[in-house]
Amino acid sequence: MVFNVVIATAIGYLLGAIPCAYIGGRLKKGVDIRQVGGGNMGALNVIREIGLLPGLVVLIADIAKGSAAVLIGLWLELPLLWLFVAGLAAVAGHNWPVFLKFRGGKGAATTLGVLLALVPGEFAISLVIIVAVVVITSNFRLAIAVGLAFLPLIIWLTSWQPDNSGMLITYSLVLALFLLVRSLPGTRTAMANTDKKNLIFDRDHHFWQSKKTR
């Protein structure tokens, strides 16, 4: 049991630490994604600064990292609590990757991947909300925040896993708060440098995040 927990946690961290956005930026344009755009090592920055297709590939890869960490834990037959640890390790790996001197991203996509593996049905409903907010506002950060805010309520209302719903609700809240804290510095900078009209409706980008021409 202890050995499986250590293995799942270590693999989760190493999976999360794979710097997909950094690799995408280097391969496609020869740039360090942390030095362009918003400076975040994430799919959104890749979409805006490198291109839609590379960004979508990075998005899928970052989500897959989180899901794979949980699925490996399931394969090792770990209890739910240790699945939570493996998932959190993947998010930590993305944020503080050993391969890039512990300077990574914020972990939004990897967080979504963890939740996708843990609560796929509930996450699907939350994903609909995320997509709807993106289409209406073009604001990815707001969309993810709204989707994660609704997820605990969705878990409680659906009760597809009634025996574990309390733990899953708590864990989804912990991940959302962790992401919020991690995103605060960038959010403050964006608010200081952004017109107030862009705080909800992003008027500078289409919902697929290409820049609008004036």
Q: In terms of C-beta density within 10 A (0-12 exposed, 13-18 middle, 19 or more buried), how is residue 71 classed?
A: middle
DSSP 3-state of 205: strand
Q: What is the pLDDT of residues 180-205, one digit of tens each?
A: 988 876 666 655 555 555 668 877 78
Q: Give yes or no for a contact between 133 and 143, defined as CB atoms under 8 angstroms apart.
A: yes
Q: Determine the pLDDT at residue 194.
A: 57
Per-residue pLDDT at 163 = 80
Task: Return the pLDDT at 65.
Answer: 98
How confident is the model at residue 190, as a pLDDT?
57
How many angstroms separate the first and last alpha carbons of the chain?
Answer: 59
pLDDT tier, 115 (very low <50, low <70, confident <90, very high otherwise): very high
pLDDT average, residue stretch 145-160: 92
pTM above 0.75, yes or no: yes
pLDDT of residue 211: 76
Strand partners, 18: none
Summarize the chain as % helix, strand, coil (round to 5): 75, 0, 25
- pLDDT at residue 206 is higher than 90: no
Q: What tens digit of pLDDT does each residue of 64-105 get?
A: 999 999 999 999 999 999 999 999 999 999 999 999 999 999
Q: What is the pLDDT of residue 197?
A: 52
> pLDDT, tens digit, for every residue of 2-61?
999 999 999 999 999 999 999 999 999 999 999 998 889 999 999 999 999 999 999 999
State the DSSP code for 206.
-
Please tell me the predicted confidence (pLDDT) of residue 127.
Answer: 96
